[in-house]
Amino acid sequence: MAGKSRRKEIALERIYRLFELAEKEFEKNPERSKRYVALARKLSTRNKAVIPTELKKKFCKKCGGFLKKGMNVEFKEIGELVEIKCKECGFSFKKSI
C-alpha cells in the first residue's frame, strides 16, 4: 500500500516535470504551456501536494499563464518579498524571495 506521503512525492515529481515541459513549450506554443500549468495545479489539488514557492513564481494565478523570465513577467524586490507581475493579464502577486 502506497502511503500518502509517497503519493504526494510522486505528484510533486510530476508537477516539476510539467513545469519543465511548460518552460520548453512556452515560446513555440504558449497555449500548450498553459495547459501544462493547469495540469500541474490539478495534480497539486488532487494529491494535496503544495506547489513549491519556486514554481509558484512561474505561473499567474489569475490567467494561468506560464511566466518566463525575461519574457512575460516582471520581478520587483520589495524587502524580503518579490512582486511578480504577469504581463499577460496585469495581475501581480507577492512571494518570499
> By the criterion CB under 5 A, which residues form the site for Zn ion?
60, 62-63, 86, 88-89, 91
Per the CB < 8 A criterion, the answer to whether 65 and 88 are in contact is: yes
Distance CA 27, CA 88 (A): 14
Beta carbon of residue 25, minimum distance to Zn ion (angstroms, whole number): 17
Measured from the CB atom, the residue of 46 and 87 that comes closer to Zn ion is 87
The amino acid occupying position 41 is R
Distance CA 64, CA 36 (A): 10
Measured from the CB atom, the residue of 43 and 60 that comes closer to Zn ion is 60
Beta carbon of residue 8, minimum distance to Zn ion (angstroms, whole number): 27
Beta carbon of residue 83, minimum distance to Zn ion (angstroms, whole number): 14
Q: What are phi and psi of 92, to 5 degrees?
A: -130, 150
Beta carbon of residue 5, minimum distance to Zn ion (angstroms, whole number): 32
Measured from the CB atom, the residue of 89 and 97 that comes closer to Zn ion is 89
Measured from the CB atom, the residue of 42 and 48 that comes closer to Zn ion is 42
Please choose, from the candidates 52, 61, 55, the residue with its C-alpha nearest in 3D space to the C-alpha of residue 22.
Answer: 55
